[in-house]
Structure 1
Amino acid sequence: MDTFLGFDALMLARIQFAFTVAFHFIFPAFSIGLASYLAVLNGMFLWTKDEAYLRLFKYWVKIFAISFAMGVVSGIVMSYQFGTNWSVFSDRTGPVLGPLMAYEVLTAFFLEAGFLGIMLFGRERVGPTLHMVATLMVAVGTAVSATWILAVNSWMQTPQGYGINEVGQFVPEDWWAIIFNPSFPYRLSHTLAATYLTTALVVGGVGAWHLARGRRENKGVRTMFSMALWMIAVAAPLQIVLGHEHGLNTYEYQPTKVLAMEGHFESHEDGIPLILFGIPDQEAGVMRYEVSIPHIGGPILEKGWNASMPGLDTVPDELEPPVAVVFFSFRVMVGLGFAMLGLGVWGLWARYRGYLYHAPWLHRAAMVMGPSGFVAVIAGWITTEVGRQPYVVYGQMMTAEAISPIGAQAVGASLMAFIVIYFAVFGAGVVYILRLMGKPPEPGERGLRSEPGPIRTAGITPAPQLSEADGPRQPAE
């Protein structure tokens, strides 16, 4: 059997796609929320004329530009794998997924690209109104981009509105049904809320970093920390509610995934326990060292106190996802979600007592929680995608059927190259972003270009700008 380091081509292709998607997901999870934050900062400056908001806009727009660029580059690289490693998947699902991906480019990406330059460089050139419009369009474009991508992923999770032609391809029959498939609204709202919460945690962590270093008199630092804590207090409980509704939808359409998430190897006839922790033993079909609360699982799933539920013992072994991966990634996501809720409540209490900017332990907690949004979105993505296995199109196409006829050595070599290049290139970008975050927003903060000026080239001095009253220009002597 053709293998590379003990892995066959299928497993290597899955690892490669998981690595590149996880790396890519970090940047949109930040840039989508940050684009909206920049729009809010710009709007607040135009409304209040408070220079602190403009200072923060110029501070964060530099970070946005870098993260946006890294997200675009990592996304382009990821897309090539559809042709190299997953050509059978591309061939069979192309008639459905191809147009959706094209719509993302034609609408969202063109919208972002068309207004991004004005947002980054055009404040002094186009005026405040058009610059505000451009900033809003970039924020809208990032959200629209996520909408199309999530429509694609949601169709793979809950496919509908299609037929299968004589050569085995999925062909569209009802585009409305394809786009607005059963899991799409829940997945979209849950993911967008995650991006805004992730951004708020990063902004709050940066603000806490500077407050912990005695920069309490810096109005920009106080403003960013205050705004972030407000957003966390609102978004964290909302995200928990959205996640619960998404879970109910998943149980309706992908019950096996929920059984793996909850660790229910055995069927329950008289009440569904809530398993808090345990060590899944999939081979034996049991949860070892289980810590659970009897009956609570029924009301959580909107069933009765004494409701029954079939377990994974009713699912054929070959159709079970890797339970341990799904079980633990789900708990990481949920645990961090409640930690975010706790941080938001703590911030509200500190604000009420009047020591929001003089709470060292709150600031330490905010710094620790700063990267937690990224961990949570990756854990949620792992729960969703690994929980769908062994299908790539749920219930219709196995992952093993989707891979290209390619050797393990070729996939393994490209995977090693991806790992080295990604950590080198994107690692450098992340380090630079952290350096920018390490400096506080100061009065006179410069954006990517703070004011217009003549284009200069080496050794050439630009001619002075003259009005008609100055008379005609004279040739340079």
Structure 2
Amino acid sequence: MLGLHAIDLARFQFAFTVSFHIIFPAFSIGLASYLMVLEGLWLKTGKDVYIKLYHFWIRIFAVAFGLGVVSGVVMAYEFGTNWSGFAEKAGDITGVLLTYEVLTAFFLEAGFLGIMLFGQARVSKRLHFFATCMVAIGTLISATWILMSNSWMQTPAGFEMVDGRFEPVSWLEIMFNPSFPYRLLHMVLAAFISVSFVVGGVGGYHLLRDKEDKAARKMFSMAMWMAVVTLPIQIMVGDAHGLNTLEHQPAKLAAMEGYWGPKSGETGVPLTLFALPNMETAQNDYALEIPNLASLYLTHSLHGEIQGLSSFPKDEWPDVPLVFWSFRIMVGLGMAMLGIGVLGLFLRWRKRLYDTRWFHRLTFFTLPIGFIAIVAGWVTTEAGRQPWVIYGLLKTVDAVSPLNAGSVAASLSGFIVVYAIIFGIGIYYMAKLIRKEPMGDVPDGGPGHERHPKRPFSVVEQELDDEEVRS
């Protein structure tokens, strides 16, 4: 396929499936916590607007949760089909961590999801709220185990090599490996921020239709508060994560900064705002730099030095242009989101938050910005680790299954077609749900008020009336 080898196709297939998958768990993590807050506020205040918003967003959550489960199952099979070398050598560690994710988080979510979606008329208010809390906590536990596994691959610890296999020695060191705390906080905050922009975008859309809509005002206000509070925290966590990367994965950090090494007469590391990294000449073409600024935030000294890419063997360099630009996309979008949050705070201070139509349009059109930043950050993390699957210990070429390019190309083509259909329909369906009025009538019993068994996705069936189906 286009002259590519099996390993290139296997990498692209995993990147393709993971890029789809990472969006929906992040959406579920943030939205489950938002639902928990909404129901808690309803129980505390008794205000109708909170339970109306809860019913509005729980339908969207049901679709996103289902899509996340479907896309996650695929990757588990890929470990065996495409990456049997990795599974054989590291399965005694990563397999256990992923198993605990299923036994704790997934079972917790599955056990309470039915009550959350369909049990409001059958259980007490407090028990239903408890179910919502358990689902929200389950999504966070799931993220914890997944990031433990992935972080161990980035900064391995607590193991010994036995006959070419990674055998556990200390599970505490494996789970709480050096990069895990930073990566967990960074990802969970990214999920909260992404969902705040989805909620804000939907609120902006409904404010454009009716600026007096109470539910739209409430969700828009909550989203803007969430953005302006969490983004400064995310910047601080991201800075700490960068320093951790400098210590444990210096080649990745050098690629993120586009730093090849000190030039003649140069003291300190410049911040490269724009460049076309050239791996053949080991330099940046058309570079636009601010002298010494990278030294300041990486070493806290204007003249601090870090290892450049020239300090590492060339066959251990990641794809520098890809890592360099994906990192800048993530950071650039993060700063744009901070700017939107600060602008929202200014408009709130001027008492114009619900009347400024251009700002509502801006929030609507930037609705997916958080998820784009998440995918860009994932590319930075995973591509920056290359050519290693387990950093510094197991190369990607030694982890791939003995497959021919044709078989991988066939399965990749199938995935592209199936994903385009399934996720296209899912996203279209969520868009239809988003168009509904947040304060529309909802049966007292919630989505599952009828007294007969329901399928999980049936939580959204009643939401589309005949007129919308025909449109």
TM-score interval (norm. to shorter) = over 0.9
What per-residue deviation string (whole Å, max 9, x for no partner) do you get for residues 118-170 of structure 1?
Answer: 0001011001000000000000000000000000000000001001112x110
Q: After TM superposition, give the deviation of residue 309 of structure 1 in Å.
A: 2.9
- Residues 450 and 256 (structure 1), Cα distance of their counterparts in 2 relative to 1, 3 Å cut: closer
In the alignment, what sits opposite 1:201? 197
Which residue of structure 1 lines up, in the alignment, with residue 187 of structure 2?
A: 191
Secondary structure of the 2:272 match is strand
Q: How does 1:115-194 map to 2 (within 5 A)?
A: 115-166=112-163, 168-194=164-190
1:419 aligns with 2:412: no
Please point out which of 233, 236, 243 is paired with 1:241: 236
Q: How does 1:271-310 map to 2 (within 5 A)?
A: 271-310=268-307
3-state SS, counterpart of residue 122 of structure 2: helix
Extract unaligned runs of 5+ from structure 2: 455-471
SS in 1 for 2:121: helix
Deviation at 1:449, TM superposition (A): 4.2
> Do residues 228 (structure 1) and 200 (structure 2) align?
no
Amino acid at match of 2:166: F
Residue-by-residue CA offset, 1:83-115 (whole Å, 9 max, x unaligned): 100011001001111110111011000100000
Where does residue 465 of structure 1 map in the other structure?
none
Q: Which ranges in structure 1 are unaligned for 5 or more consecutive residues?
A: 458-477
Query: Equivalent residue for 2:389?
Result: 392
CA 1:223–1:165 in structure 2 vs 1: closer, same or farther (change >3 Å)?
same
2: distance between equivalents of 1:225 and 1:313? 49
How much does 1:453 deviate?
4.0
1:64 and 2:61 matched: yes
Match of 1:410 in 2: 407
The amino acid that maps onto 2:321 is A
DSSP 3-state at the match of 1:346: helix
AA aligned opposite 1:385: E
> How far 1:304 sits from its partner (Å)?
1.7
Structure 2: how far apart are the matches of 1:445 and 1:353? Answer: 35
In the alignment, is residue 42 of structure 1 matched against residue 39 of structure 2?
yes
Contact preservation (8 Å) 2:158, 2:170: yes
Deviation at 1:315, TM superposition (A): 1.4
How much has 1:368 moved relative to structure 2? 2.2
**Matching of residue 254 in structure 1 with residue 249 in structure 2:** yes
1:438 is displaced (CA, Å) by 1.6
Distance 1:340 1:454, change over 3 A: closer
Whether the aligned pair in 1 keeps the contact of 2:55 and 2:446 (CA below 8 Å) is no
Secondary structure of 1:404's aligned partner: coil
Deviations 1:370-424 (A, max 9, x none): 1001100000000000000000000000000000111110000000000000011
Q: Does 1:31 align with 2:28?
A: yes
Aligned length: 452
User: C-alpha deviations, 1:338-374, integer Å up to 9, x for none?
Assistant: 0111011011111111111001121122112210011
Asked whether the equivalents of residues 259 and 308 of structure 2 are also in contact (C-alpha less than 8 Å), the reply is yes
Runs (4+) of structure 1 moved beyond 6 Å? none
Distance in structure 2 (CA, Å) of the matches to 1:126 and 1:61: 17
Q: CA deviation at 1:290?
A: 0.5
In the alignment, the residues of structure 2 paired with residue 454 and residue 11 of structure 1 have an alpha-carbon distance, to the nearest angstrom, of 52
Shift of 1:446: 4.9
Counterparts of 2:365 and 2:447, CA distance in 1 = 33
Cα RMSD of the aligned pairs, angstroms, is: 1.4
One of 253, 260, 265 as aligned partner of 1:265: 260
Matched, 1:90 2:84: no
TM-score by length of 1: 0.93
- Distance in 1 (alpha carbons) for counterparts of 2:88 and 2:430: 39
The aligned counterpart of 2:104 is: 107
| Alignment check: 8 A CA contact 1:204 1:229 kept | yes
In structure 1, distance between residues paired with 2:55 and 2:138: 20
Is structure 2 residue 377 aligned with structure 1 residue 380? yes
Q: 2: CA distance between counterparts of 1:158 and 1:456?
A: 47
Report the Cα distance in structure 1 between the residues aligned to 2:445 and 2:326, rounded to whole angstroms: 39
TM-score (norm 2): 0.94
Q: Does the 8 A contact of 2:121 with 2:444 survive in 1?
A: no
How far did residue 30 of structure 1 move? 0.6
Amino acid at match of 1:230: W
* Percent of paired sites with the same residue: 52
Higher-Rg structure is: 1
* Paired residue type of 1:317: K
Question: What is the one-letter code of the residue matched to 1:299?
Answer: L
Structure 1 Cα separation of the partners of residues 395 and 444 of structure 2: 49
Q: Quote the Cα distance in structure 1 between the aligned partners of 2:61 and 2:119.
A: 15
- Bigger shift: residues 433-442 or 380-389: 433-442
Given that residues 255 and 318 in structure 2 are in contact (C-alpha distance below 8 angstroms), is that contact kept between their aligned partners in structure 1?
A: yes
Query: What amino acid does structure 1 have at the position aligned with 2:225?
Result: W
